[in-house]
Amino acid sequence: MAGVAIVTDTTHYMPRDLARARGVQQVSLYVSWGEEAFRESEIADYDAFYERLRSGREMPSTSQPSIGDFLAVYEPLLEAGQDICSIHLSGGISGTFGAATQARALLEERGLSERIETIDGETACGGLAGVVLAAAAAADGGAGLATVSERARRAREALDIWFCVDTLEFLQRGGRIGRAQAWLGGALRVKPILSLGSEILPVERVRTAGRAFERMVEYMTSLHDRGADGWIVQHIQAAEQAERLVERGRELFGSEPLFVSEVGPVIGVYTGPGLLGVGGLPARFLSPAG
C-alpha cells in the first residue's frame, strides 16, 4: 500500500461510515467519570451519555491520546509504505496535537519522522471533519505528503464554523470557556453563539432559541455568499432543530450537506446538550484536483 494516509482524532464527529469510506484513520480521546475511563471511539450510546451528563452531579473529564496511542496507528501505516498526514483538534483546547507531534519526534531516530506531517487543525467537530475530508480528497488523487498537507492548511483557512449552546455552564465547569469568560453572569440566561478556532471565541448573545436558530441560518447564508458551498450541520440532542436547519440549507445551497451528525462526548462535555452548529468550506477543496 502506497500513498498518503490521513490520520485524525475522534473529535471530527463525521459519520463513521463516511470516515471509513474515505480511509480516514483515527486516534481516540478519552472520557473519564470518576474511576471509569472510556475511549470515545467505544461510546456508542450518546443518548445515555448526555442523560448522565445532564442529571449527574459529577462532571466527567476528558484526556488526550497517549503518545503510544499515536504510535499504534502510525507504525503499521509506515510499515505498509504510506506517508502520514495527521490532522487534529485545536492545540488551544487540547494537548492532542502536541502528543501527535511528540510521537512523530520519537520516530526520528528511525528515520521515519520526515514521512509524517502533523497539523494543528485549529478547530474541531465539523470544522476538523472538513479539513480531514479535503486532505483525503488530495490523497485520493495521488498527491504526495507535501501537497496533501498544503491542501489541509488551505482548507482550514477557507473554513468557518459557528455553534449556539443553551448555556455557558458546561464550558465554565469544564474550564474551556476562553474569551467567553466575559459573558458569565447574565449570559447564563441567554443563548450564546460562538465560533471554534484556535480557541472557543464568543460571537454574540441572543435572547431566545428562536433567534439563535435564525442567526445560524444567517451564518449559513454568509457561507453561501462567499462560496463555502460544502456545508455541514451538527448538533447535540437537537435532531429536530438540525433537520430544520438542513431544510433551510437545501433551499439556500441547492445541494445536500456534506453530512449531518451528532457531536460526541469529548466536546459535548464542555458544550452540553442543545448545541446546534453549522460550518462550511468551498466544495472545490473536496475534489482530488482541489
CB contact at 8 A, 12 and 132:
yes
User: Where are the domain boundaries for CATH 3.30.1180.10 in the chain?
Assistant: 160-286
Cα separation, 282 vs 229, in Å, equals 5
pLDDT band at 171 (very low <50, low <70, confident <90, very high): low
Model confidence at 271: pLDDT above 70: yes
User: Where are the domain boundaries for CATH 3.40.50.10440 in the chain?
Assistant: 4-30+65-158
User: CATH number of the domain at 4-30+65-158, please?
Assistant: 3.40.50.10440
pLDDT band at 173 (very low <50, low <70, confident <90, very high): low
pLDDT of residue 179: 44
Cα separation, 203 vs 195, in Å, equals 7
For residue range 108-164, list pLDDT tens digits in order. Answer: 989 999 999 999 999 999 999 999 999 999 999 999 999 999 999 999 999 999 999
Tell me the average pLDDT of the chain.
91
Cα separation, 160 vs 127, in Å, equals 7
User: CATH number of the domain at 160-286, please?
Assistant: 3.30.1180.10
pLDDT of residue 181: 46
